[in-house]
A and B are shown apart, each in its own frame.
Chain A
Amino acid sequence: MHKTILMAAIAATLFNSTLVLAEREEIKVKSEQTNTSYASSTASSAFNPAISLILDGRYARFGNDPAEYELPGFALGPESGLGEKGFSVGHTELILSANVDDKFYGQMTLALAEHEGATEVELEEAFIQTLGLGNGLTIKGGRFFSEMGYLNKQHAHNWDFTDAPLIYRGLFGNQLIDDGLQLSWIAPTNTFLQLGAEILGGSRYPAGGKTNGIGAWTAFADIGGDIGIEHSWQLGLSHWQANHIEGRESGGHHGHGDGAAETPSFSGDSKINAIDFVYKWAPNGNPKNRNFKLQFEYFDRKEDGTVTMLNSGPPVETTRYDGHQKGWYVQTTYKFKPQWQASLRYGQLDSNNTASDAGVFGEAGLDNEGHTPKRISAALDWLPSEFSRVRLQYNRDDSYEKTDNQLFLQYTMSLGSHGAHQF
């Protein structure tokens, strides 16, 4: 039933604009008679709900075999691989959103992705949020991108690069999404000050493991403002914590591949501290023609617990584990013409993990093998309109010992309702 409604809505929006037009004509006639005008015009669009479809396709060329990818010192979570080589479609996303009534706003994002020959549907976001609760308060509930860091809350199709920064890949499996509640408060000051916290189920990576109550929580603070008309900035601090993680599975070290794959599983406590800074410049405050962005983030994770190799033994291999992983990246984007943009990014990771059993430690991929993972990326984007983008990106990827030269040609197109200009 719901599916039918959804399909009908999509069909009506994307293909049958005449239906909507007919309605508009009527309204127009009416408004001319009474000499007052149509219904309120800030609503995100005339369609209810607003629907947008993101089409993403790419061609990828890797020097090394992407299946061999690893990040020494970081046990990789799900979805943190390099993706398909050759031609492939990335995440095809369907986003529906609307004000539910005068009290709530709702949004859903469905992602369709190809995974080992099968098309998988993933519910990326499904949340409601209060509208104008008053006193600067907003409550959000459901499944959402956490406010951890800066880039995390942005949809992948809004990123300035085809792939997530290395540290996001290493800590979150690209992005931190969870189910729970978020409370945020904006201070009544001219300088932007936001404080907030999230309580999360913690059943998804990097919490991973079923819990009864609160599996993870975050706290965040952001401060920001303008300097004159042309400069704007934002500084954020955030903290994520999961106590009593049980059985968080991840990918291990390659090269021991005989028999059933042994999968490292972590149980224990984990906490992450992060700092992010963004600065933007646009001549005359007009980002359409030319603008510059500098973005920096630093993450630091400490973990304490045990790592067990599933499918190992008997006896089952296990070790005490004390982890300290950190990483940062800095990127700049310069839109030098209304339709052209160039970006540069450098990211680097570091880890200082220890374990009681050196064998398990190495197998789990937690030993950094004396290597510092780093990657440099350059991208050139052609933006024919606000709704389309074609990108060429090059990575020199030193995630592990063997340097990989990667090349991506990607298109990202957005159909339907107008997207939001996030800061």
Chain B
Amino acid sequence: MSIRLKKSVWLCVLLLSLCSNSVVARINVFACEPEWAALTRTLGGNAVEVYSATTAQQDPHHIQARPSLIARVRRADLLVCTGAELELGWLPLLLRKSGNGNIQPNAQGHFMAADHITLLEKPAVLDRSLGDIHAAGNPHFHFDPYRILQIARALTTRLTKIDPANSDLYQKNGMDFSQKWNQAIQKWEQEFKALQGKRIVVSHNNWVYLEQWLGLKRVATLEPKPGIPPTSAHLSKMLARLKQNPADMILYANYQNDKSARWLSQKTGIPVIGLPFSVSEKESLMQWFERFLNQLLSAGS
């Protein structure tokens, strides 16, 4: 008798804990890059639990399908990634290994930012001799605040579909974000007007969207071809060209090897800046934009 009683008590406790779990259960979000993790946190607030697969220090092209990532995708309710073949080397493998139906392509929980905007630099010719190019276009669009706005809208809609119970919260957060972001864009465009027309040398061709937005002029790229490290011959050619026709700054992403950029800066006297390629831990998208814009401005003036 007492054993049976004990059993039923345990059962009650178990049921209760399951119920209470489902009440506070938060949506598990697997973000491939930190910028989407930050955006999802802003839009989802307390209703989401966000895991970022990469940090701003990691090159999102070259991630391995590590065991820890498989374990995280296994439990995800929503995947928020760049798409456009950026995660081609690892995301398909994670999806196949996960045994999770919620986040497979075409499922509600599969959100690729690239699917909601248009991309720049769609190659006219697909040939690997041109380097590691993306057939869908340049995937580093998180530097364009207008595209971020479009993605935020789409992501808000997606969140309400996945978790209708909290749709009011998502709607409200979405509205808030749009409003603040629009104001910020106006402010930034005023504050950083001085950057317009600045001539830049880039390490890898991943600043196109920033160039377009701010009106920066790319005069040279250190990598002879996308993904191929610069050779000394290529660098000395560039040095000669820059001496003839100088630039205002040399840009590289923080996760990249800065050796060539620094070498060129020393030889030419052009300032070099390593920009944070994405949001750092506990930073919001807006703080990150402020941070790199100020860095650009201080280097360019």
Assess the A288–B115 pair: CB atoms within 8 A.
no
Q: Which of A116-124, A350-358, A415-423 contacts B (4 or more CB under 8 A)?
A: A415-423
Residue of B nearest to A191 (CB): B71
Assess the A17–B255 pair: CB atoms within 8 A.
no
Kindly identify which residue among A32, A138, A190, A385 contacts B72, using a CB–CB cutoff of 8 Å: A190
Q: Given the complex, which residues of A lie within 8 Å of B132, measured CB to CB?
A: 385-386
Q: A44-B88, A232-B67 are in contact. List 19 more A-B contacts (CB 8 A).
A: A21-B126, A31-B118, A35-B118, A37-B119, A42-B110, A46-B135, A133-B99, A190-B72, A192-B70, A224-B67, A289-B257, A338-B257, A386-B89, A387-B128, A420-B65, A421-B64, A421-B65, A421-B90, A423-B66
Assess the B89–A133 pair: CB atoms within 8 A.
no
Tell me, yes or no, whether A64 is within 8 Å of chain B by CB. Answer: no
**How far apart sit A134 and B124, CA to CA, in the bound complex (Å)?**
40
Kindly identify which residue among B62, B65, B87 contacts A288, using a CB–CB cutoff of 8 Å: B62
**How far apart sit A412 and B142, CA to CA, in the bound complex (Å)?**
35
In A278-327, which residues have CB < 8 Å from any B CB?
Answer: 280, 284-289
**How far apart sit A40 and B79, CA to CA, in the bound complex (Å)?**
13
Q: Given the complex, which residues of B lie within 8 Å of A31, measured CB to CB?
A: 118
**How far apart sit A338 and B257, CA to CA, in the bound complex (Å)?**
9
Bitwise interface map of A from 1 to 45 toward B, beta carbon under 8 Å scored 1, else 0: 000000000000000010011001000100110011111111111
Assess the A17–B125 pair: CB atoms within 8 A.
yes
Assess the A226–B66 pair: CB atoms within 8 A.
yes
Q: Given the complex, which residues of B lie within 8 Å of A21, measured CB to CB?
A: 124-126
In B140-186, which residues have CB < 8 Å from any A CB?
Answer: none
Tell me, yes or no, whether A234 is within 8 Å of chain B by CB. Answer: yes
Tell me, yes or no, whether A255 is within 8 Å of chain B by CB. Answer: no
Tell me, yes or no, whether A137 is within 8 Å of chain B by CB. Answer: yes
Known A42-B110, A134-B99; contact A224-B68, beta-carbon cutoff 8 A: yes
Bitwise interface map of B from 61 to 81 toward A, beta carbon under 8 Å scored 1, else 0: 111111110111011000001
Kindly identify which residue among A32, A193, A226, A284 contacts B57, using a CB–CB cutoff of 8 Å: A284
27 contacts between A and B (CB under 8 A): A21-B124, A24-B135, A32-B118, A37-B117, A41-B84, A41-B112, A42-B112, A102-B104, A129-B96, A131-B95, A131-B101, A132-B100, A132-B101, A133-B101, A136-B74, A186-B97, A186-B98, A191-B68, A194-B67, A285-B55, A387-B128, A419-B89, A420-B90, A420-B92, A421-B62, A422-B64, A423-B67
Q: Given the complex, which residues of A lie within 8 Å of B197, measured CB to CB?
A: none
Bitwise interface map of A from 184 to 219 toward B, beta carbon under 8 Å scored 1, else 0: 111111111110000000000000000000000000
**How far apart sit A385 and B223, CA to CA, in the bound complex (Å)?**
13
In A358-414, which residues have CB < 8 Å from any B CB?
Answer: 384-387
The distance from the CB of B51 to the nearest CB of chain A, in whole angstroms, is 9
Assess the A132–B102 pair: CB atoms within 8 A.
yes
Residue of B nearest to A102 (CB): B106
Kindly identify which residue among A20, A41, A105 contacts B85, using a CB–CB cutoff of 8 Å: A41
Tell me, yes or no, whether A99 is within 8 Å of chain B by CB. Answer: yes
Tell me, yes or no, whether B229 is within 8 Å of chain A by CB. Answer: yes
Name the residue among A36, A38, A138, A384 with the largest chain B CB count within 10 angstroms.
A38
Q: Given the complex, which residues of B lie within 8 Å of A225, measured CB to CB?
A: 67-68, 71
In A90-121, which residues have CB < 8 Å from any B CB?
Answer: 99, 102, 105
Kindly identify which residue among B81, B98, B135 contacts A42, using a CB–CB cutoff of 8 Å: B81
Residue of B nearest to A192 (CB): B67
Residue of B nearest to A422 (CB): B65
Tell me, yes or no, whether B114 is within 8 Å of chain A by CB. Answer: yes
Kindly identify which residue among A134, A285, A418 contacts B101, using a CB–CB cutoff of 8 Å: A134
Q: Given the complex, which residues of B lie within 8 Å of A43, measured CB to CB?
A: 92, 105
**How far apart sit A131 and B257, CA to CA, in the bound complex (Å)?**
37
**How far apart sit A32 and B122, CA to CA, in the bound complex (Å)?**
13
Number of interface residues of B (CB under 8 A): 65
Assess the A232–B66 pair: CB atoms within 8 A.
yes
**How far apart sit A229 and B58, CA to CA, in the bound complex (Å)?**
10
The distance from the CB of B107 to the nearest CB of chain A, in whole angstroms, is 7
Tell me, yes or no, whether B228 is within 8 Å of chain A by CB. Answer: yes
Residue of A nearest to B114 (CB): A41
Tell me, yes or no, whether A243 is within 8 Å of chain B by CB. Answer: no
Q: Given the complex, which residues of B lie within 8 Å of A288, measured CB to CB?
A: 59, 61-62
Assess the B126–A45 pair: CB atoms within 8 A.
no
Q: Given the complex, which residues of A lie within 8 Å of B116, measured CB to CB?
A: 36-37
Q: Given the complex, which residues of A lie within 8 Å of B128, measured CB to CB?
A: 385, 387, 415
**How far apart sit A7 and B125, CA to CA, in the bound complex (Å)?**
22
Known A138-B97, A192-B68, A284-B57; contact A186-B83, beta-carbon cutoff 8 A: no
The distance from the CB of B57 to the nearest CB of chain A, in whole angstroms, is 4
**How far apart sit A234 and B97, CA to CA, in the bound complex (Å)?**
15
Tell me, yes or no, whether B54 is within 8 Å of chain A by CB. Answer: yes
Tell me, yes or no, whether B227 is within 8 Å of chain A by CB. Answer: yes
Tell me, yes or no, whether B297 is within 8 Å of chain A by CB. Answer: no
Bitwise interface map of A from 333 to 345 toward B, beta carbon under 8 Å scored 1, else 0: 0000011000000
**How far apart sit A284 and B58, CA to CA, in the bound complex (Å)?**
7
Tell me, yes or no, whether B136 is within 8 Å of chain A by CB. Answer: yes
Residue of A nearest to B154 (CB): A36
**How far apart sit A193 and B116, CA to CA, in the bound complex (Å)?**
35
Known A38-B136, A42-B110, A234-B67; contact A287-B62, beta-carbon cutoff 8 A: yes
Residue of B nearest to A190 (CB): B71
The distance from the CB of A299 to the nearest CB of chain B, in whole angstroms, is 22
